[in-house]
A and B are shown apart, each in its own frame.
Chain A
Amino acid sequence: MQIDQLLQYTLSGLSTGAIYALIGIGFSIIYNSTGIINFAQGEFVMFGGMLTIFFLNVMQLPLWAAIPSAIAVATVAGILFERLAIRPLRHATPINLVIITIGGSILLRGVAMLLWGKDTHAVPPFTGEDPISIGGATILPQHLWILAITVVIILVNKFYFYHTISGKAMRACSYNPRAAGLVGIDVRRMVLFSFMISSALGSLAGIIVAPLTMTAYDVGIMLGLKGFCAAIIGGMSSGMATVIGGLILGILESLGAGLVSSGYKDAIAFIILLLILFIRPQGLFGKAETERV
């Protein structure tokens, strides 16, 4: 085993890991404000990539305009999803909520297939395709874009949750929605916000990864599930723990695909998911919780 090969796998693992981290944060934000695992999260990732292609090819917009437009439309879809599917069911059992978000994800995937067909599409890289070599390993400029955007998002995220009124209100809701309501926070609006933020984050993740992996109507399932994996490793935190979870997952997956077998690449993520759920369901860094009856 050569060192530069290891470096290569680790570097490419870092950038896919960053994508998982962004999706995972989206999962966590919704979970913390509502207690719901949004199985449709991955579909917003898919929408990000597919909408960008739509704005690029059909509307003939330049890339810098297509990306915000795609995020905006995906965010509106997230708002609609919350309004039409989640809000009417606020008192449903967890199983019913699981089922409704699964129904939602199938519907969104189906709509994407209806609108854009089953073909795989490529988004052009943001800045060129000339590989950059780093100590024997080569990476693409897109990898750097992914890492840079992820860092920016983490910083913005931190600022929002700790230094703005609305972010602090959301954190209050996640600790205790009832108490948050009593001190005058509009909990329902915060739930809507959480869906907005996580669909925006998800679609952004889908956009920045699309130049590397191509995109199609059905990429959302796997990306979504792996984002969830990252969130589980991070103990459903909407901060650094989930980011680290995503990076660990990305690197392990990339090493596994490179050293063991690429066919089992996806299985690796799910084996990690099962192990974490069995051994440390509270995440790698969390404390155990007790269930209130």
Chain B
Amino acid sequence: MDVHSASQRFLGLTARRWRTGAVPGPLAQMLLVAVGYYAAARVGFAFTLQPNPISTLWPPNALLLAVLLLAPARAWWWLLAAALPAHLLIELQSGVPTAMVLGWYASNCSEALIGAALVRAFAPGPLRLDSLRKAGLFLLCAVLAAPLLSSFFDAALVRLIGWGESEYWDLVQRRFASNVLAELTVGPLILTWATFSSARLRAATPARYAEAALIFGGLFAVCLVAFDLPQIDARAAPALFYAPLPFLLWAAVRLGTPGAASAIALLTVATIGGAVSGLGPFTDRTAEDTAREMQLFLIAASVPMLLLAVALEERSRAEREAHEQRLQLTHLARVAMLGELSGGIAHELNQPLTAILSNAQAAQHFIANKTGSPQVLSEILQDIVLADLRAGEIIRRLHTLFKRGETQFRPLDMNTVVGEVLDIARGDLATRSVDVRRHLGESIPAVSGDRVELQQVLLNLVVNASEAMSAGTAPGRRVLTVCTGTEAGMVKVSVIDSGPGFPAEQHERMFEAFYTTKAQGLGLGLSISRAIVRVHNGHLWGEANPGGGASFHVTLPAA
């Protein structure tokens, strides 16, 4: 990955926009890092509880670490270099000696480098917080190890240069807590939003936007009451700490990791903002104690929410992938089955084509002989139209079956579905000389189902029956009976053949994937058919007929 594509990723912009020149180049990215670093440092200074010398939350290091986690390693150096002017600009304003300013730049960069290198060693490529493993890695390496190791270095530099009066271990402890909280607040915010697909935002329904507004509005209101008002009764403080919890949980469950990270950031800003202004439950103690207690509270609230959001997103992704695989497999099996039916389909299409050609040539003869009356010619043209419509209908049905689409539940009349399936299989049944009998029940309730998937199930049963009879029954005795009716409140479709049947031990095995008795066949048809029927909350089973042959039954709940 080159610098351009890396920067494109960390800015979360699409390849199309990159090609059209909308993505800023490396220089613009350096500028963005510098501006971001400067703004983050301003926030850090604003969140310093005087006379405590270390900010309660120091976001610049977390910003640098997040940027490195999204960029390729070869881009790390110039991205860190971009932060130096911003660092000098803000720190030199505060009257700190240049040696200390440079020392802090080194320790800030060391935190970003340690965290990014450790995470990258175990998770190559730009980090996405999309699995518990990666979230755990981020917490261990970026949130815990990087602030801890760099704080030893930072405190050593402070003591070496001789800036301030604080003790070494005191410095380590305060800087560590401040940076852990910053990593936990800023890191996930940047990582999740930078890798968030804008398509997901566009795909969100108005109801989802309203829900997000309700969550953040509610969280903001609760934070305002709990942390940004003068504390009236100190005894209410423990209860106030729990007040944002329902909204945090709501965000984690419904809005995914970007939502949870944003909610955590809002809680952190509101809590520290209130305390800095002398408001909220953290005000009746020393600045040092206030900072420590707020940090502990925010860390304890953030970690489980973040992990919960990641776990839920991972599970939802696994479900989406399983669903997608089922759709792919179902489609592949359908296409394979249509491949097996190709001879029958050709037969079925050739019939209207024959009617069209012979009718047209008959008309030519009538015209040449001057024997065709206008009425005869009109009848011929009418029959040509009918045959053409029939050929078009065959092609339309085939196209629907070949197409891959999402499962769409609609009210369906199973008698109609049976008719469509027998139409599709007509050529195959005809070439195998199978006599088809329909016993369709009257006034059958509709079922809620996907037309194409239920056609696939019945087509599979019809083709299996046709093949079984073709292989083991004399032509005159090949009878396929399709019955529909209701049974115990369910709609039942039965496909009964007069073939050789199947032995008792195959009763359930034939529904296993890759089990087949055919010379050519994947052995997926029945297992996929059963999976489709299960998705429709129905049952599919087979039984050997007492007098020979086999019966397969599908039951589906009435809509």
Do A and B pair up? The answer is no
